[in-house]
């Protein structure tokens, strides 16, 4: 039982990393990034490929995150004149481009065959069950560090400019700030966090394939920050817990309500998530722990 609970907790912490990255981009900077899964994939494949070429996992994971952050740079420079819906469309196209690249460049990624047998973190010395618990502790530590860094960032002059860009970009420009540069940096940092989540996920599942990196994952992360609140660390955590709670908790519905078939449960799961999102948007658009901010895209 404890291994299953730790698996759920690991999943929550991985998605929290992704949600933190998106919150920095959207909640604090106002960037609508619909390409989250593309950066997750870059982190996963970056780390996976490096680890299969002998790079130790403790190096390949941050390297995967760094690759995801670097991949955001050209995207940022090219697209950050766009705002709102246009940026969303371009980033969605970017994530699909990443997936098609993974499929087509078989020499590098094994294409649709996927990459099985990725090394697990800690398994060499901890074994399977202890490895899970050790990973859980590591992820808690990583998330705590990230949250502390985020809090410092948001409270810093850099963070204040991001808030200004989000609330009124014209005014920020009028004060002489290079808003494109700040937005690009926010995009890169957020994407690196998404890539970090992807790298951890890859070495936890030990198999990655292009069929995992579809827009559905992007929208899961969006749901998490919309339900919890995109400008609050508490909101990010609570939103992710609620999301994973719905996704995984719904498996137990059939244990309670025996009359639900498996086919019905699949629909019920998505219905529950959809309803949670609709209710949030209608009655609490800033999320459970969010604040209404002016000029939020």
Partner 1 sequence: MVESFGFNRRQFGGLVAGLTASLGAGSAWAQNTRPFKLGALNSITGAGGVYGPGMLEAIKLAVKEVNDAGGAAGRKFEIFAEDDQTRADAAVLAAKKLVEITKVEAIVGIWPSAVQLAVMPITNAAGIITMNTSGAPEIDENDKLDLVWQFYGSNVIFGRAFAETVRKLGYKRPGVMAFNNATMLAQARYFQKTWEEKGDKVVDFIPYEPNQTSYRTELDRLLSKKPDIISASSYLPDLTIILKEWYQSGIPCKFIAPGWSANETLARTLGADVVDGILSVSNVPATQNPAFKHFSSAFKAATGREPETFAAASYDMVICLALALQAAGAEATPAQIASKIRTVAEQPGKKVSSFAEGRELLLKGEKIDFDGASAPLTFTPEGRSTPDFGIYEFQKDKLVLKEVIRLT
Residues that bind partner 1 (CB under 8 A): 1, 3-4, 7-8, 11, 103, 111-114, 116-117, 120, 128, 201, 204-209, 211-212, 248, 251, 254, 262-263, 265-266
Is residue 230 helix, strand or coil? Answer: coil
User: Is the CB of residue 234 less than 8 Å from the CB of residue 219?
Assistant: no
Minimum Å gap between C-beta 131 and partner 1 is 10
Minimum Å gap between C-beta 19 and partner 1 is 16
Q: Using alpha carbons, select from 19, 10, 17 the residue that is nearest to residue 227.
A: 19
Apex 221 CA angle, 119 and 21, nearest 5:
75
Query: Measured from the CB atom, is 130 or 156 closer to partner 1?
Result: 130
Minimum Å gap between C-beta 48 and partner 1 is 13
Query: Measured from the CB atom, is 86 or 207 closer to partner 1?
Result: 207
Query: Measured from the CB atom, is 58 or 207 closer to partner 1?
Result: 207
Minimum Å gap between C-beta 78 and partner 1 is 25
Other Cβ atoms less than 10 A from the Cβ of 248: the count is 15
Query: Measured from the CB atom, is 37 or 192 closer to partner 1?
Result: 37
Query: Measured from the CB atom, is 31 or 40 closer to partner 1?
Result: 40
Task: Enter the tokens of residue 157.
Answer: 């002059």
Minimum Å gap between C-beta 105 and partner 1 is 13
Please tell me the distance from the alpha carbon of residue 97 to that of residue 295, in angstroms, as a whole number.
Answer: 31
Is residue 214 helix, strand or coil? Answer: coil
Q: Quick one: DSSP state of residue 208?
A: B
């Amino acid at each position: 039982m404890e291994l299953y609970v730790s698996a759920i907790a690991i999943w929550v912490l991985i998605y929290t990393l992704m949600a933190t990255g998106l919150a920095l981009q959207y909640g604090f900077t106002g960037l609508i990034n619909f390409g989250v899964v593309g950066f997750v994939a870059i982190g996963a494949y970056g780390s996976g490929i490096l680890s299969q070429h002998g790079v130790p996992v403790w190096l390949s994971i941050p390297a995967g995150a760094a690759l995801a952050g670097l991949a955001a740079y050209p995207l940022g420079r090219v697209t950050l004149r766009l705002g709102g819906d246009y940026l969303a469309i371009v980033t969605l196209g970017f994530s699909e481009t990443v997936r098609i690249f993974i499929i087509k460049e078989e020499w590098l990624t094994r294409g649709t065959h996927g990459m099985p047998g990725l090394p697990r973190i800690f398994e060499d010395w901890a074994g399977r069950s202890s490895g899970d618990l050790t990973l859980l502790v590591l992820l808690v530590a990583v998330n705590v560090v990230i949250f502390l860094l985020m809090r410092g960032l948001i409270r810093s002059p850099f963070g204040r400019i991001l808030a200004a860009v989000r609330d009124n970009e014209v005014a920020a420009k009028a004060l002489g700030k290079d808003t494109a540069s700040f937005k690009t940096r926010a995009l890169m940092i957020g994407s690196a966090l998404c890539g970090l989540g992807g790298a951890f996920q890859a070495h936890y599942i030990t198999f990655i394939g292009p069929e995992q990196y579809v827009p559905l994952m992007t929208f899961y992360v969006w749901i998490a920050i919309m339900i919890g609140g995109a400008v609050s660390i508490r909101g990010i955590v609570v939103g992710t817990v609620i999301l994973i709670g719905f996704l995984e908790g719904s498996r137990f519905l059939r244990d309670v309500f025996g009359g639900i078939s498996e086919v019905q449960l699949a629909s019920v799961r998505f219905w529950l998530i959809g309803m949670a999102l609709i209710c949030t948007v209608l009655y609490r658009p800033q999320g459970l722990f969010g604040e209404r901010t002016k000029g939020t895209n």
